[in-house]
Amino acid sequence: MAELELSGLIVVCLLAVCAVALWLAVLVHQRRVVASAGGLPMALKRDDQRWSNGVGRYVGDELHWYRTLSLSLRPVLRMPRSDLVVIASRPWNPQRDMALRPNLTIAECKFRDGEVSLGFPDNGLTGFLSWLESSAPRF
């Protein structure tokens, strides 16, 4: 009976160690993406879906968005500059945006055939608008 209790305790400890290791891997991945050139924390909401926290990176003419709680090295969404049109921007609203931090500014955009809302901290919206406007002229 004591051996059974000991093996159960070992299994529980191993599961706890695996959970902590997975959590650390997600944290390291997020820090790596944020620390890379052009990375900034931002929230995203597509059409009528829920808000998701993540990290955005400007890569040439595309904005790549990575989900925070993901081990994938690929972005969840790639938004070419030419497919994004800002419809409006607004401050955080407690009735509409309870899942977000209160210091975010929301940019509501048209993206391809749908809508996407992007939540930017501090001066993130200014940088996003500058990036959108800085494309080379097309002839």
Question: 83-138: per-residue pLDDT in tens?
Answer: 999 999 998 888 877 778 778 899 999 999 899 999 998 788 999 999 998 876 66
Determine if the pTM surpasses 0.75.
no
Ranking 3-7, 19-23, 97-101, 135-139 by mean pLDDT, the lowest is 135-139
Tokens 């925070």 label which residue?
A: 68
Residues 29-87: tens digit of each pLDDT: 666 766 665 678 889 999 888 889 888 988 889 999 988 777 777 889 999 999 999 99
Parallel, antiparallel or unpaired: strands 114-121 and 39-46: antiparallel
Count Cα neighbours of 29 within 13 Å in the Cβ-side half-sphere: 17
List helix spans (H) across the chain.
Answer: 2-35, 124-133
Q: What distances in angstroms separate CA 73 from CA 53, 87, 108, one per listed residue?
A: 16, 30, 26
Q: What distances in angstroms separate CA 43 from CA 11, 21, 70, 137, 138, one per listed residue?
A: 37, 25, 14, 29, 30
Q: Check residue 22 and give its pLDDT.
A: 80
